[in-house]
Amino acid sequence: MELQFLGTSSGTPSRARNVAGLALRATGSKSWYLVDCGEGTQHRILRTHYSPMSLRAIFITHIHGDHCYGLPGLLASAGLLNRSEPLLIAGPPAVERFVRGVMESTELRLPYPLEFAAIEPGWTTATLPDFRIEATALSHRVPSFAFTFIEKSVERRLDRAKLERDGIASGPGWGQLQRGEDIDLPDCRVVRSADYILPGRRQRKIIVAGDNDTPALLAAQAEDAHLLVHEATYTEEVLQKVGPGPQHSSARATAAFAEAAGIPNLILTHFSPRYQQVGNGPSMADVEAEARAAYTGNMFLASDLQRYTLDRQGALGLLADT
């Protein structure tokens, strides 16, 4: 499974970071998925190997502009590229009103159908390729959700030692058994696929959260998750000064939740533009130090255009070409 961050800033873009957007794809799949689409997302996509033509669905966590203002431009560009395949847009009901309002007021006509899904607590879908997706309600100033992506299919592995022990020679029959098909042998034996398939590995599970001041709301989803992508808008010191009004999480709160929940991989994102890489004042080093003090797992602070892979064993790594 592959993730690429298209924007990692909160509220407004900075010179180094665009606002929210995340591309997600199952390894080897032709389709990909987009979580949030802040202003300028299509410009970031131009710097990746992703294309609006193969985008299968867009998931908007909430209606705030830094998570959805990029939608009209991306949809229009896909139309100019002569996209014809349907595109699903899933998000709170306000997302559909926003998109349809822009389309009407700007007379935007698309050569492909849009399909809208109104997200509410407990929403799930298994109709898309690659993933089953579940929505979890979060705590923010407007309805906000996390989307959990659960791998739909796990490769079948043959018990080769047992096949050889039972005198079943390698050949096309092994491929049929791996596909779940029973086979007839020349000696009249019937070989059942189920007798020679090893137990499958655990399906990979990724949680991508929208804005949220209460990470513990994800406790049920976190039980068997391999990766959490969650905001860390502030450090705890700044959060105390800002107050609870914005309803965001600190790096410490997010990291402490991931630690308590036993999530093995954590990517922090959605950083306030006040945190700079270098210079005086609050820095990204402060965010990282606070999170690492609370979390002992495999953790990254996301940057724009960084690519990550989650392998079949659930190990997360940063690709070297980013």
Under 8 Å CB-to-CB from 260, ≥6 apart: which residues?
Answer: none
Gap between the Cα atoms of 141 and 248, Å rounded:
9
Residue 194's contacts (CB-CB under 8 Å, 6 or more residues apart) are: none
Active site residue 187: no
- Which member of 66, 130, 211, 304 is catalytic? 66
Give dist(CA 156, CA 163) in Å, integer: 15
Query: Which amino acid belongs to residue 186?
Result: P
Distances (CA, A) of 92 to 115, 117, 188, 208, 302: 14, 8, 59, 15, 25
Question: How many angstroms separate the CA atoms of 135 and 263, rounded?
Answer: 18
Distance CA 239, CA 282 (A): 12
Cite the active site residues. 66
